[in-house]
Amino acid sequence: MTDQKIESGAIVTFAPARRAGSHVLISMEAYSGNGKTYSAILLGRGLVGPQGKLALLDTETGRGKTYANLAGGYDYAELTPPFSPERYIAAIRVAESAGYECLIIDSGSHEWEGIGGLIEIADGGTTKKGDPLSGLAKWAAPKARHKKFMQTLLTTRMHIIICLRSKEKLIQRKGTNGKDEIVSAGWFPVQDKYFPYEMTVRLFFPEGPRKGVPELSKCPADLLGAFPADRQITTQTGEAIAEWVRGGEPVDGDLIELKREAEEAAEGGSDVLGAFWQRLTPDQRNRIKPFGPNLRSIADTADRDAAEQEESSPAEFGRALSNANQFTTDTPSAPSTSNEF
């Protein structure tokens, strides 16, 4: 950490940046049959190596078994409807617990528009009186559930390759002759419009003579060499990405998991975070202390939201904030020692 004193109540602390290894989050987008599953398996095998643990989560009614013998094979599981965010999250957790190094999700579009996905969830929302919700109101709860899914993708210890269906967007405009005409505005993944921004790499597989050859929609400059122009995806592509990842400091998987659990507890408010803190060992508490300001802030926000929804009294709200502020950190303004949340 820098020598500069951090003010009391700060929600973050700054330290010198270091290049860190991490998992990668790669989307493969295409119309059905354009090579994304085949390419995902080759890429995944390259990422984990010949003996690495690779798994495929299939939402396409068994299509994921088609390439069972490709690139040394992989483990397989099928996810059936309803395609809610929570069921995707649970499947990802199972893969993590089993020790897989890379998980292919084929496809992630079902979480958005599949049976029991976000669109159906939003369309089925009702008020307390049972009246259908409409407009932005019907999306509030579903989007909160979707954010949990995205957070899971972003904080997992595995590499994730997520296949997405693409749709062509057609728009109406005035032609050169002054008449209305229908034209293509391009291909877009079937997912939330903000989904692509979270990807490390985005690949689009066009139709036609270039079938199977991806176009780069997003890629860090250091990884451009892994995707030569006019070349299909191979295991060597994954190997190049894995080498780039290894160039950073080793990832502490246990700390990543502990931090994720702490953030999830903080989202439940100060009481939930306090109970989580009490369950930790002394070593775990010391490891999580640097994240204390951010966890406090998350819990404070959750407490405020709960207070507004339940119309809590000022005394109750003050007690919640007081509990949250007992979280210890390693900043100069915090208490030097504490065993209590």
Report the pLDDT value the prediction gives residue 331, as an integer from 0 to 100: 33
Helix axes 270-279, 253-266, angle to 10 degrees: 150
CA distance 167 to 270: 43
User: What residues does each domain of the chain span?
Assistant: 25-246, 253-324
Report the pLDDT value the prediction gives residue 326, as an integer from 0 to 100: 47
Please tell us whether the domain made up of 25-246 is placed in CATH 3.40.50: yes
Residue 110, SS3 per DSSP = helix
Helix axes 253-266, 292-310, angle to 10 degrees: 20
Alpha helices, DSSP H only, in 115-252? 118-123, 140-155, 235-246
Mean pLDDT of the residues in the chain? 82
Report the pLDDT value the prediction gives residue 248, as an integer from 0 to 100: 55
- Residue by residue, DSSP assigns 274-300 as HHHHHHS-HHHHHHHGGGHHHHHHHHH
Q: Would you state the torsion angle of the CA atoms of residues 225, 226, 228, 232, taken in this order, to the nearest 10 degrees?
A: 180
Beta bridge pairs of residue 76: 56
Sign of the torsion formed by the C-alpha atoms of 329, 314, 141 and 82? positive
The parts of the chain modelled with pLDDT lower than 70 are 1-10, 12, 17-21, 209, 248-253, 256, 310-341
Report the pLDDT value the prediction gives residue 41, as an integer from 0 to 100: 96
Helix axes 85-97, 140-155, angle to 10 degrees: 20
Report the pLDDT value the prediction gives residue 334, as an integer from 0 to 100: 33
Report the pLDDT value the prediction gives residue 104, as an integer from 0 to 100: 97
CA distance 267 to 259: 12
Contacts of 270 (CB under 8 A, 6+ apart): 299, 300, 302, 303, 320, 321, 323, 324
* pLDDT per residue as tens digits for the range 185-227: 778 899 999 999 999 999 999 887 677 789 999 998 888 888 8
Structure tokens that stand for 301 in this block: 């926000």
Contacts of 62 (CB under 8 A, 6+ apart): 78
Report the pLDDT value the prediction gives residue 63, as an integer from 0 to 100: 84
Angle at alpha carbon of residue 317, lines to 316 and 318, rounded to 5° = 90
Q: What share of the chain is helix, strand, coil (3-state, %, to 5)?
A: 45, 15, 40
**Quick check: 219 and 201 in contact, CB under 8 A?**
yes
